[in-house]
Structure 1
Amino acid sequence: MRSVLTACGVVTLMLLAAGTAAAHVRVSAPQAVAGQPATLDFRVPSEKEVATTVRVSVRIPSGVTVSSVDPKPGWTVRQGAGEIVWTADARDAIGPDQAADFTVRAAMLPDQPSIAFAAHQTYSDGTVVDWDQPNSSDEFPAPTLKLSGYTTPAPPKPAAEQQPPSDWQTPLLFSASGLISTAALVLLVLRRRRVRESARRI
């Protein structure tokens, strides 16, 4: 009997945990690839028992180019600089224990492993829930989309080391040095001769 009760308790905890995770605002995009277009679906649940969700806003991070926002019956959409806002009509708000989907079409996703969107959910009682925390284990995590096809930056190349002269360059360097020394010696001898000749003439 104890084992049965223990098993039931474990199952109940698992269901509660799953329900809590599912209640988060989430973003999904089938086969989202870095640097490619995608259809983003934001799923917004209404967690309050008596109040309804009347407004949803999503911040669009830099690197994401929005081409269009799908219309949603009963909701008015407003697209501003880096933000999309949906406002519900009185009878079309998201009721308790319900959820709604909001679709955004992106012309281009950034070349990075994931994208975090800050979302803000407003209830009919005036409560605003900010879904903008960085970690998935947080109480109000930001909706995050993982991307495939991310290009890992190549490590910087080390500075090129100075190479020693090759075998054929070594004799050439000595020859050039010898020619320069010889030329300098000749010039010195000629100069001394001119000085002597000038002294004799005087």
Structure 2
Amino acid sequence: MPELPEVETVRLQLLRKVIGKTIDSVEVFHNKTVAHDEVIEEKLRDKSIADIDRVEKLMIFFFESEDDLFLLAHLKMTGQFFYVGADTEVTGGGHSMTAADMDLPMKHTRVAFHFTDHTTLYFNDMRLFGYTKVVNRSEMEQAKAGFGPEPISDNFDCEWFADRLRKRKTPVKAALLDQSFIAGLGNIYVDEALWRAGVRPT
């Protein structure tokens, strides 16, 4: 399951590949992945990617000259982004399944964003829990709200963490998985951190 470090790695990889790319068409292989948006292609055609941000495990695509149009993307348990360049080089990641020896699109490809330079960004998702969704600014801000600080953020330190943790009445693992308390942690990193600290999760 992609957690904060994996999602941030994907974001940084895509920043190097898709910024400035203009969407020519959107190929939808499964409507659930685009929140059953029948006009997603109409909304995104001719839009150029200006930036990719991330809050918790949610990726946010910004578009040039657009102040009220955003693309949210969440990998959930098995989501992946793979960018295929003009030289057929594949860049991306997410869920542990690799792109090696993979012909894209493949059976788990849910959406393909085709760019005007004949390159493509594929969204794969084996379990169909992930999504890509076009939203306005209000919806984007609402999606970002309610998350606690990330472990890698500047305002996260041991004193703050200890003080907040003392006030929790739940088992420590449940507290660490609460995204309103600390954003971006999932089972893998919580279990590993508790094991290294010698702390029982219950």
Indicate whether the TM-score tops 0.5: no
Q: TM-score, normalised by structure 2?
A: 0.23
Q: Which of structures 1 and 2 has the bigger CA Rg?
A: 1
